[in-house]
Structure 1
C-alpha cells in the first residue's frame, strides 16, 4: 500500500506566504501530514512556474477522499515563508498572521517561564491545539499549552493554522483552532543550512544551523529522515535602546520606576509619618523623592541555546500495510533578567541599636506620631527611651527596643536577578496504516511524550536571612550567628552592601515543571462508494477512537514554596500536581448532494461529532455541521457551525492560589481622598488598611499591584459556539488569481476565566473608580491591603491584593473577517507572485460575570490597557510581492498593524476631572508599517544563499510609558510583542543540498 498521493493543482512556485483560508481536500490527519501541497526542498525552483491553476488547499478533516472540498478556513505558512523570513522559531512567523494575537515570546521578559505560546483569535492560548503531523505535542505546563519553540523548523513542509474552530475533528480544546506543523516525510539526500542575523546596532546576534539527512530504501518501499539543529540567540537589554533606557510613568510622563530604591524608602507602620526616604547625606529621613529606574537590565530579546533532533521513518511491509514512526528531542536553555532584588516593602524587626542606624534617623523614627487624631504628638518612643535603646545591644537588656520598619531598599550591589530555564522534551510515536478497501483506509498509532522545565534563580536573597542580618549588634556580628550571618546596612548609599552580605543572602532557589502526555488513536476514513441521486461523487466518512492521559506537576524547593521568602520573586511556587484522562469517540461525514447541474456545480454537506468522557468532569459532547455550494465554476460559498464543550485543564483545576504582581495605576484609597469621605475611609479600613495609613496610602511608582490567582476544583466545562461563512473565488477570466473571504464568530459561555484588575476594583468602587465602595460589600472586603502601609503592594506573604479567582462566570466573544488573495503570473523573463492576507476583527469582548447585568463588557479590539493583554488591532494584513528572475527571487513583505488607543473605561476623569492618563501622546499608538526585503539566489546547482533586511525602515516602537498595560506585554515603555523593539537587522542564510 503506497502512501496517499500528493494532492496538487498545478501550483509549483516560490510563493512565500500561501496563507489561504480554504476548504479541506478531505485528508485524514496522517494523510494531511504527507500531502505535498507545495514543492518540498528537492522540488523547489527559484524561478517558479506561475500558478495558472491556483488551488486552495488545506487540511481540517479526517475524511480521506480528495474529491471532497470542505468548509473549514485555514491559513497555510509554507517552508518558503520560513526560509525567506529566516525564521529562528516558528512563533516568529505564526504571531504575524493577521488575526493571531502575539502571546508569550522572545520579547517578553517579566513573567516569561521559558516557553513560547500561540493565541489564535485572542481568546486564550488554552483554547487552541498544537499538532505535529496530526498528533498532539506534549504540553509545557499545567495549562496544557504546547511550547512551539520545540518544533523543528528546518524539516517543516508547511504549517496549517485552522482558525475556524476544530472541536469535533481534533478535540474540544480547539475552540479557536489548530496549528498543525507538517514535516517532510519523503526527503532523500542531504541538506545543510546556516543562518546568521544581527541588528544594525551590532547586538542581538542569532545563529542557527541545521543538518537534514534522508533516504529512500528497498525500492522506495520505505523512507527515513533525520534532522539535527542548533540555535544560539543573544540577549538585548532595554538599556540597549534609547526608548527603553529610562522608565517612564504612563501617568505623569516623568521618570518612573520602583519605590524599592536606593537609598532606602522607609515606612514606619503604626505611625502617620507616611513614606520616607533616607536623605542623600544619610543622616535623616525626608519625604520620598525618587524611584529606582529598573529598565536597563530588563530584556527586549531573551537569549536561547537550543539543541534539537527529529527522526521519522515509514516502511511498507506489504501492499496492504505500512508502519511508521517518529521521534522528537529538544533541549533548550533560556533566561530572563530583571533589575536587582531587594527588600520589596518587607516589614523587618529592627533594633534601635542597629549599628547602621545613625542618631538622626533613629530620633526621627522615635518621634513619629502614632495618633493623628489626638491632641499633640504621640511619639512612638520617648526621647529618653530612644536614647537608652540606642546603646542596648542585648535583647535581655530592659532598655532594648525594636521597631518594625517597612523597607524598600534595592540591592543594586547584587546585579540583576537571573532565572535560567532549561527545557528537555521528548516525544515518540509509532503506528500502522493500511487499506480496508480500495476506497477505505485504516490507521492506528500511539504516542508518548514528556517535558521538563527546570528553573534556577540567582540574585534574589531570602527574607529569613535578611531579617537575621538586620538583627545586628555591631557591624560584624548578628544576634543569631548561625549560617555565618553577615549584618546588612539598609541605611547606606549604593555600594554599602558588601559581597559578604550577598554571599550570605543569595543562596539560590529552584523548581521544575514536569508534564507527560500519552495518547492512542485508531480510525478509518475514506468513502463508502455510495452516492446521492444528484451526484456522482462518493460519500466520505471517518470515524474512530482516541484516548489521552495528561499528568502535570510543579515542584519547588522549600524557599520557593514559602510566600514572601524569596525576595523579589513575586509569587511563591507551591507544589502542584494533577492528572486526568479522556476517552473519545468521533465521526465525520461529507455528503455530496448535487454536482454538475445548473447552478449546482457542487453542493456538499458535512457533519461531525465527538463524544468525550473526562475523568474530571464526566461526559461532554461536541458537534459540527457545515457545507459548501458551488453554483458556477470558480465561485463557492461555504459555512460551518460548531458546538464545543471544553473541560478545565490541570492548572485550572489544581493550581494552588498564589500572590504575584501585575500592573495598575489607580487606587481610590490613595492620597488624601479617604480623609474627605467617611464612606471611602471605612472601605479602605475594611480592606485591611491600618488607621494610621489613611491619607498616606500610595500607588506603587512602579505601577504594580499584588494579585492572587489559582485553580478552582469546582470548575465545570465551558461551552462555545463557533461558526464561519465565506466565499472562494477562482475566476477563469483572471488566470492565476484566487481569493477567499471568511467571516468567523466565536462565543464562549460559562467561560473559565478570572476577572480583570479593572473588574475587581470596579465591582467595589464603580466602573470609573469614582465611588466610595461599601465596608460591608464582599466585592470590597475581598480586596486585601498591606497590613503595614495600606498599599496594594508589598510582601506577597502579607498582602494578597486583588483576588483574580477562576470561575465559570465569564463570557468571551469575538468575530471578524479574513481575506486572502493570491496572484501569480509569468511575464516573459520574470515571474510575479502577489500574496495578501488580511484580517478585520469586529469585536473581542470579555465579561467577567455574564450573570450580572451590571458587569461590564470590556472591548479590547483596537484598545490597550491593564484589562487587555496583548494588542489586538482592528485591521492588520501581510502582503508579499515576489519577483523571480532566472535563478534569483526578490521578495518584499509588507506588514500592517492598525492604530490602537487606550481603553476608554480606564481613562475616565475622576471627581476632580483628572484622567488617570492625562498625557495625550500615551493614549494612542498610530498605525505601523513594516517592510522586510529578501533576496534568494541559487548560486550553484546545490548552493542557495538568502539575504534579508528585516524592518528595513528601522521603525521605532511608540513609547506609551510602563504602567498603561498588563505587565507581560507593556514592558520597557512599549509593547514589544507587537512592535519591533530591535530595529533594522540583517540576516544571511547559506544552504547546501545534495
Structure 2
C-alpha cells in the first residue's frame, strides 16, 4: 500500500495538471448578476438565490446553536436522520449517518462537493467527524432524494455535502467544556481556531479542533443497578459454571459465585459483580445451577477520546479568469473503551478441553463446599476472561485520515465556464480488544501452561514423561474465583505472566485509498420564456482501494471467543462515469431539470436519469417535484471480504445462544437499485410565516443482505431439530430443541432433560451475502417557520422540523413485503432504528445582546419486531429531550454560550437484553449535561 500511496500522490498532481490543460468544466460559483445566483448540492447549475431549493440546509449559526461537540452529534438531531453511529464499547470510531433509515451506505458524503475515502474497516463508510473541523463549516446541505443521476453510486437515499468557510477573513478562537451530571469530574474539552487572510488575488484559511475526554463513561456511571440487571444476562460469566460427566445433574456453579469474599453484594441479585445463582436470564429465581450475571456492567457508552482535525484552504488567481483552490485535511482520532469483563470462551468444546479433577481450583471448590462440589473431571467450562470485581478489560481504536484536493476553474467565454478537480484521500485504522488463545487456555487448565512448558505437540503433554502438570516450568491455571483470594505461592494462585501468555490483543489493521479526477463544463444555451437554459456536462474517474489485515491468531481460528478462521482481504475498484444536466424554463413560472449519469465499475454499468421541476403559480407559492432512479454497488466487505457478521442472543434450552457467525463476500452481487420520487411545496404565507411540506417515496430492489444468524436459527428450529448445515454444533451434543418438541417447558424450573440442546451447544453460524430483498418506504417532511419582530428590536421565533415515515416495508424470504415502520426489523440489511416520527420544536428569543433558545426533541418509540423472552421489559415509548441555550454577545466580537442539554434529565428508553441497555444511535445516554463555550473573533 505504500507504493500505492506514492502512485496516487503522483496521479493526483499529474491528473490535476492534465485536466487543467485538456478539459473544461463549470465554475460552482455564481456569475455576477443583479440577483445573486448560487449552486447548491444536487445540481451543477446556478439558480437565483431567492428560490426554495430541494435541500435541507444547516447553517454555521445553527450548528453552533445546537451546542454539540462533534459533527455526528449535530446530525443525529436532524429529523431526517433516523440514526447515527457513535463510538461506544469496542467499536471502531467511525461515525456515519443513516438518512431515511435506509442504511449508512445509502447516503453519499461529500466535502465541498468531492468524495472522501471510506474508513479502513469492514463497514465501508465515511466518518463525518474526520472531514473537517466543525468550526470551519459554513453549512451542511442534505439532498433528501436519490441523486445518482448527478453523483453516481451510493447516493440512493441522498447526499450530505459539508461546505467550508473558504472565504473567511480574520481570527476566530473557541474553547468549550461540557460534562454530564452523572460524571461531573470528567469534562470534555474542545478547543478550536480559525484563521483567514483574503487578498485581491490570494486567500488562505486554516482551521483546527482538538477534543479531549480523559476518561470513558461506563454504563454504571449513568444507570441504576436495577436497569443494568435488565441488560444482557449470560451463563458464560466469571465466576463460571462447570459441567461434569453427566448432562443431567452434572452442572455446578463456582462456590464463590455471588460471595462477599470476592466483592459480592451479600444479596442474590443479577447485577451482582460477583454473579448470582438461582436466576434465569430474566434475573428471576428458578433454582437453576448456573452462575449468571449481567454483561451491562462496565460497558463503555462514551469512550475516552483524543481527536484532532485540521484543514487548510488556499485559493489564488493564476491567470486571466483562471483560479486554483487547494485543500489539505488531516484527522486523527484515538479512543479507549471497555469491553466489560471480556469475552466468553466459546471455542473450548471444539478442542475437547477437559478440566481435570487435580486442578487446584477443583480441589479448592471441593474442600470449600465440604464435598458438595464433586471432585471429578469437567468436560465443559462456561466462563469468560475476567470477573467484574477484577475491573474491565480495555479495547482501543485509532485512525488517521489525510486528504488533498486541487481545483482549477475558469471562463471559456462569456457564457461558458470550466472546472477540473483531482482529489486523493487515505485512511489507516487499527482497533482491537483482548481475547484468549484457546489452545493455551486448554493446556493451562490441565497444568501445562506457560511458554517454557515444552513438549512434543504430536504426542501431547500427557504422554510426555519429561514433564508433569504444575511442576517446574509447567503451570496450572485456576479458572475458579478462588484465584481472587490467593496469594503468590498458594496452589490456587494465577501468575500474571501466565495470564499474559494465554492472552493476545486481537488487532485488525486496515488501509484505504481513494483517488478521483473530474472535469466539468457549464454554460447557457438558448433564451426561453423564463430565462436562459443551462447545460452541464462532465466526466469522472475514481478508484477506491482497501486492505484489511487480521491478527495471526485469528487467521488460524485460535481465539476463544472468535474461533472463525478469518483471512486478510483486499479490494480495488475503478469507476468511469459521464454525466450531463440540462435546465430549461419553458414559462416564466416553470423550471425543469433533466440529469443523467452513466457509470461502469468492474464490468457492472448503469445509467440513472432524474427529472426535477419547480412551478411558481404565485409569488409566495413554490411547488416542486422529482422523479429518478439510483443505484449502489455492494460494499467492499460484501463483495470481497471475510469476517465475523454478528450473532444471535436467542435463548435455547434456557441459555442464550452466543455463537459467532462468519460471512464470506460474494463477487457476483448485483448493484442495488431504487426508484424514487418526491412532491412538495413551500408557501410563504406572510413575511413572518413559511410552511414547507415534502412527500417522498423510495422503492428498492436487489438489496444486499446477510442471512442473519437469528433468521437461520428460527427457520431451522421450527420442526424441533437443528439440521441446517450453516449451523455448526459442538461435537457430541444433541440437536433436539425440547421446548419445541414438547419435552421441556421454558420457565418451568425443571432441569433440561437428557438429549436436549441448549444455547451453549451451537459453535458457529456460516453465511454469505445475497441480493434478495426489497424495501418500499414513504413519508412526509414538514417545516413550519414563524418569527416576529417586536418593538425595541426584540425577536421571537418558533420553528418545527419533523419527519414522518408513513410506511417501511421489507421483503421476507418468500418475497412478501412486510410492514416494519417504527420497528427494529431489518438488521441483516443494516436497516436499524427507524422511528416513525422525529421532530424538533425550536423556540428562540433575542433581545439586544441576549439570545435564548429552547429545543424540544421528540423521537418516537421503537417497537421490537420479534422480541425474545427476555426483552419484554424493553421501553417502546417515545422519548423527548429539552435543551436550553443562553448566548451573550459581548463587546469586541466576544460571545459566551451556556447550555443545559437534556434539562429534565430524561432517561433514554430501556433496551432490555442488550449490552448497554440504551440505543445510542438515537438517544444520548449521558442524560443531563452542562456546557460552556467562549468564542473570540477579531
Sort the TM-score into its range (normalised by shorter chain): 0.7 to 0.9
Greater alpha carbon shift after TM alignment, 173-182 vs 230-239:
230-239
Q: How many Å apart are 1:104 and its aligned residue?
A: 1.9
- C-alpha change, 1:989 and 1:502, in structure 2 (3 Å) is same
1:983 aligns with 2:927: yes
- C-alpha change, 1:60 and 1:659, in structure 2 (3 Å) is closer
Q: How many Å apart are 1:637 and its aligned residue?
A: 1.5
Q: How many Å apart are 1:527 and its aligned residue?
A: 1.9
- 2:810 aligned residue: 846
- 1:304 aligned residue: 305
**Equivalent residue of 2:86, what SS?**
coil
**Equivalent residue of 1:805, what SS?**
strand
Q: How many Å apart are 1:457 and its aligned residue?
A: 3.3
- 2:783 aligned residue: 820
8 Å contact from structure 1 (residues 429, 446) kept in 2: yes
**Equivalent residue of 1:416, what SS?**
coil
| Cα deviation digits, residues 541-560 of structure 1 (max 9, x gap) | 11100111000011123023
8 Å contact from structure 2 (residues 233, 295) kept in 1: yes
Where does the alignment leave 5 or more consecutive residues of structure 2 unmatched? 1-24, 260-276, 279-286, 456-466, 485-492, 735-756
Cα distance in 2, alignment partners of residues 509 and 971 from structure 1: 20
- 1:772 aligned residue: 719
- 2:60 aligned residue: 79
1:198 aligns with 2:179: yes
Cα distance in 2, alignment partners of residues 204 and 229 from structure 1: 19
Q: How many Å apart are 1:833 and its aligned residue?
A: 2.7
**Equivalent residue of 2:728, what SS?**
coil
- Choose from 593, 596, 599 the match for 1:612: 599
- Choose from 460, 467, 473 the match for 2:442: 467
8 Å contact from structure 2 (residues 807, 819) kept in 1: no
8 Å contact from structure 1 (residues 627, 639) kept in 2: yes
- 2:482 aligned residue: 493
Q: How many Å apart are 1:957 and its aligned residue?
A: 1.8
- Choose from 636, 659, 668 the match for 1:650: 636
Greater alpha carbon shift after TM alignment, 197-206 vs 83-92:
197-206
Cα distance in 1, alignment partners of residues 242 and 125 from structure 2: 42
What aligned pairs does 1:62-141 form with structure 2 within 5 A after superposition?
A: 62-67=43-48, 73-106=54-87, 108-110=88-90, 112-140=91-119, 141=121
TM-score by length of 1: 0.77
8 Å contact from structure 1 (residues 265, 409) kept in 2: no
8 Å contact from structure 2 (residues 904, 928) kept in 1: yes
8 Å contact from structure 2 (residues 36, 48) kept in 1: no
For these two proteins, the number of residue pairs brought into alignment is 830
Cα distance in 1, alignment partners of residues 607 and 885 from structure 2: 47
- Choose from 816, 820, 837 the match for 1:859: 820
- C-alpha change, 1:492 and 1:536, in structure 2 (3 Å) is closer
- C-alpha change, 1:645 and 1:310, in structure 2 (3 Å) is same
- Choose from 124, 141, 146 the match for 1:160: 141
TM-score by length of 2: 0.82
Cα distance in 2, alignment partners of residues 917 and 56 from structure 1: 58
8 Å contact from structure 1 (residues 955, 980) kept in 2: no
1:665 aligns with 2:650: yes
- 2:130 aligned residue: 150
| Cα deviation digits, residues 670-713 of structure 1 (max 9, x gap) | 33xxxxxxxxxxxxxxxxxxxxxxxxxx432xx64533333212
- 1:208 aligned residue: 190
Cα distance in 2, alignment partners of residues 35 and 244 from structure 1: 63
Q: How many Å apart are 1:537 and its aligned residue?
A: 0.5
8 Å contact from structure 1 (residues 175, 720) kept in 2: yes
Cα distance in 2, alignment partners of residues 483 and 126 from structure 1: 56
Cα distance in 2, alignment partners of residues 336 and 872 from structure 1: 27
- C-alpha change, 1:223 and 1:572, in structure 2 (3 Å) is farther
Cα distance in 2, alignment partners of residues 29 and 705 from structure 1: 55
Cα distance in 1, alignment partners of residues 449 and 540 from structure 2: 69
Q: How many Å apart are 1:744 and its aligned residue?
A: 0.9
Cα distance in 2, alignment partners of residues 608 and 545 from structure 1: 13
- Choose from 591, 597, 601 the match for 2:584: 591
Where does the alignment leave 5 or more consecutive residues of structure 1 unmatched? 1-27, 37-53, 251-255, 369-385, 391-401, 596-601, 672-697, 766-770, 908-915, 964-969
8 Å contact from structure 2 (residues 228, 917) kept in 1: yes
Cα distance in 2, alignment partners of residues 56 and 749 from structure 1: 38
- 1:729 aligned residue: 683
- Choose from 357, 362, 376 the match for 2:362: 357
Q: How many Å apart are 1:579 and its aligned residue?
A: 0.6
Q: How many Å apart are 1:197 and its aligned residue?
A: 0.4
Q: How many Å apart are 1:474 and its aligned residue?
A: 10
- C-alpha change, 1:265 and 1:477, in structure 2 (3 Å) is farther
- 1:805 aligned residue: 768
Greater alpha carbon shift after TM alignment, 293-302 vs 151-160:
293-302
1:932 aligns with 2:862: no
**Equivalent residue of 2:787, what SS?**
strand
| Cα deviation digits, residues 247-276 of structure 1 (max 9, x gap) | 3347xxxxx522122332123588445643
- 1:552 aligned residue: 546
Q: How many Å apart are 1:941 and its aligned residue?
A: 1.8
- Choose from 572, 575, 578 the match for 2:571: 578
8 Å contact from structure 2 (residues 450, 501) kept in 1: no
- C-alpha change, 1:355 and 1:897, in structure 2 (3 Å) is closer
Cα distance in 2, alignment partners of residues 497 and 793 from structure 1: 30
Greater alpha carbon shift after TM alignment, 858-867 vs 628-637:
858-867
- C-alpha change, 1:762 and 1:568, in structure 2 (3 Å) is closer
Q: Over aligned residues, Cα RMSD in angstroms?
A: 3.5
8 Å contact from structure 1 (residues 585, 612) kept in 2: yes
What aligned pairs does 1:946-985 form with structure 2 within 5 A after superposition?
A: 946-961=897-912, 963=913, 970-985=914-929
- C-alpha change, 1:813 and 1:717, in structure 2 (3 Å) is same
8 Å contact from structure 2 (residues 94, 125) kept in 1: no
**Equivalent residue of 2:638, what SS?**
helix
8 Å contact from structure 1 (residues 329, 424) kept in 2: yes
Q: How many Å apart are 1:221 and its aligned residue?
A: 1.6
